[in-house]
Amino acid sequence: MQSRFKGDRRLTVRMTVTMFLLGLLYVAFVVALIVLLKSWVLVVVLMAAMFVAQFWFSDRIALFAMRGRVVEREEYPELHAVVDRLCALADMPKPVVAVSAMDMPNAFATGRNPDNAVVCVTTGLLRRLEPAELEGVLAHELSHVAHKDVAVITIASFLGVVAGLVVRFAFYSQLFGGGRRDQNTAMVFAAVMGVSAAVYAISFLLIKALSRYRELAADRAAALLTGRPSALASALTKVTGDIARIPTKDLRTAQAFNAFYFTPALGSEPGVARLFSTHPSLEQRLEQLGRISGELGEAATPGKAG
C-alpha cells in the first residue's frame, strides 16, 4: 500500500545501489570464508541463521537493547493519539508503539515492513517536547517506515555485524589460543581477520552514506506531511542540544543504534566522530527545513504565483 508520505526517487535509487553493492560484498565475503575455512556448510548455515535472526527479530533486539517496551493506549493516550492522527493522515498501517525509559531525548523506528514496524520514543523526549514538536519527530520516524528504508538499513547493517563478530572471534581465538596452533592455522585466522575487517570497513562507509541521505529524506517528508517544518526544526534543535549535554559515557550503549535514531547520540565533543556520522549535521537539516518552510509559506500566500 502506498502511503501519502512524499516519495523520494533519489532515496529509492540510493537504497537500490547500496543493496546491490552490499549484495556483491556479501557474496564475496561468503566465498572468502568458505575458501579460508574450507567448510561451505558451516559458513552458509551460520550466515543464513544470523540473517534470519536479525531481519525477523530486529525490532525485538532494538527494543531490548534500548530498554523499550510496548505500551497500550490506556498508558500513553496522547502518544497513541498523535500516532493515530499521523497514520490516518499518511494513509498507512499503525505501527506498534513503544516507550524507552531513558532520559536521553530520542526516537527510532524499526521493523521489516510497514505491517511489522515499531516506533519507540524515550521518556526523555516525551518530557521535553511540545505536542507540535513531538508530532514532527513521530512523522519523521513514520516516514522511515513508509519509505521502507528502515528495512534496508536493517538488512544492510547485517553484513557489518557479521564481519565485526568474525573479527572479534578470530582475534580473541588467536589471542587466547595462539600457542596451541600451527603456523598454517595462524595464517588462516589472520586472513579471515583481514577479509572481515575489509568487509566491515566497506559496509560501514556504504551504510553511513545511505543513512545521512535517508535522514534528510525523512525530515523533508515529515515537514511536508505535517505542514509544520518549523516544529520539526524546533524539536531537532532542542533534542540535539540536550543530547550534547549528556556525558559521553552515558551515551555509549545508545551509539550502537545511531543509524536508527532521530538524531545521533553524540557527546558534547564528538570530534572525528562527525566525519563518520550516520546523520547529516544539524545545520544541514535546519537549512533544508528552512527552505521547505519558505516554499510552504509562498504556496499559502493568496495571489502568489505557483
Length of the chain: 306
Judge whether 215 is annotated as a binding position.
yes
- How far, in whole angstroms, is CA 183 from its chain's centroid? 41
- Tell me which residue of 160, 158, 161, 190 sits closest to 174, measured CA to CA: 190
Rounded Cα gap, residues 167 and 164, in angstroms: 5
Q: How far apart are the first and last CA of the chain?
A: 30
- Tell me which residue of 81, 83, 156 sits closest to 119, measured CA to CA: 83
Judge whether 279 is annotated as a binding position.
no
Those residues with Cβ within 8 angstroms of residue 190's Cβ, 6 or more apart along the chain or in another chain? 174
Active site residue 141: yes
HEC sequence for 165-234 = HHHHHHHHHHHHHHHHCCHHHHHHHHHHHHHHHHHHHHHHHHHHHHHHHHHHHHHHHHHHHHCCHHHHHH
Among residues 72, 133, 141, 295, which one is catalytic? 141
What are the C-alpha distances in Å from 68 to residues 38, 54, 99, 115, 151? 41, 17, 5, 19, 19
Rounded Cα gap, residues 209 and 118, in angstroms: 24
Judge whether 133 is annotated as a binding position.
no
Give the three cell numbers for residue 198. 575489509
Those residues with Cβ within 8 angstroms of residue 139's Cβ, 6 or more apart along the chain or in another chain? 86, 90, 221, 222, 225, 226, 232
Binding-site residues from annotation for Zn(2+): 140, 144, 215
Binding-site residues from annotation: 140, 144, 215
Active site residues: 141
